[in-house]
Amino acid sequence: PAADWAGWPIRDSRSLVCGPVNSASGPDPTPAMPDGLRAAAVAARGFMPTEEGDALWVAALEATAAVPGSPLLEIGSYCGKSSIWLGAAARHAGVVLFALDHHRGSEENQAGWEWHEPDLVDPEIGRMDTLPRFRRTVFDAGLEGSVVALVGDSPTVGPFWGTSLALLFIDGGHGSEPAHRDYELWTPKVASGGTLCIHDVFPDPADGGRPPFEIYQRALADGFEERRAVGSLRVLTAAR
């Protein structure tokens, strides 16, 4: 229930605190993300603001405490930036992060779009290929034992996935069809009391595309309870 999380505050993006507030002793501190891993995440290629990445670390620690032994899964890994924050939390909890991406880039990453990066195009086939960069990012961070790459399309993998998730992070295609499809396919796999994170949620249409905001609204209507908002990241709890 939402009340379970009401006393889990965030102080700032570097020294995050999450723990039930105890009037006698104050908040219980969240384990700090190891400096080397955090530095690797901040330096990694990608579009995740540091404040939101730090919030992912906290959300993942909360998720693994609420649903111990269950894995994390992110949709949309790109070059592995968010995978470091989540993978570090998975390693801390003794579970794994499954990083799902076809590595051909979302619509907005293609040639002619705002977020296209030409050096990530495979010159032999003329298509985006972020998998080599992702693998190097995870290797350099020392997280190969905690981050498992799932190379495939979300609607191909989703119907065959049967494991309950402590945390689901939706940050894949931001068009209407892929965003709503990811929501419909994967949110039923979040364990009771588990965590749903959605990236690039902008209430004001002038700030960004609508589909992530739309699926965030769907989540609220479906009974997920908002735990916190950090930048464009929304952290929600699945009903128990």
92 assigned to active site: no
Closest CA to 229 of 4, 10, 19: 10
How remote is the C-alpha of 118 from its chain's centroid?
A: 25
Our CA angle for 54, 167, 180, nearest 5°, is 100
What is the rounded radius of gyration, in angstroms, for the C-alpha atoms of the chain?
A: 17
Active-site pick, 92, 103, 116, 174: 174
- DSSP-derived letter for residue 159 is G
**Measured distance CA(187)–CA(33) in Å, rounded:** 27
At 11, phi and psi to the nearest 5? -80, -55
Which pair of structure tokens corresponds to residue 95? 């579970």
**Measured distance CA(164)–CA(64) in Å, rounded:** 12
**Measured distance CA(212)–CA(110) in Å, rounded:** 19
Strand 72-75 relative to strand 165-170, pairing: parallel
Closest CA to 195 of 154, 227, 171, 222: 227
Strand 233-237 relative to strand 190-198, pairing: antiparallel
Catalytic residues: 174
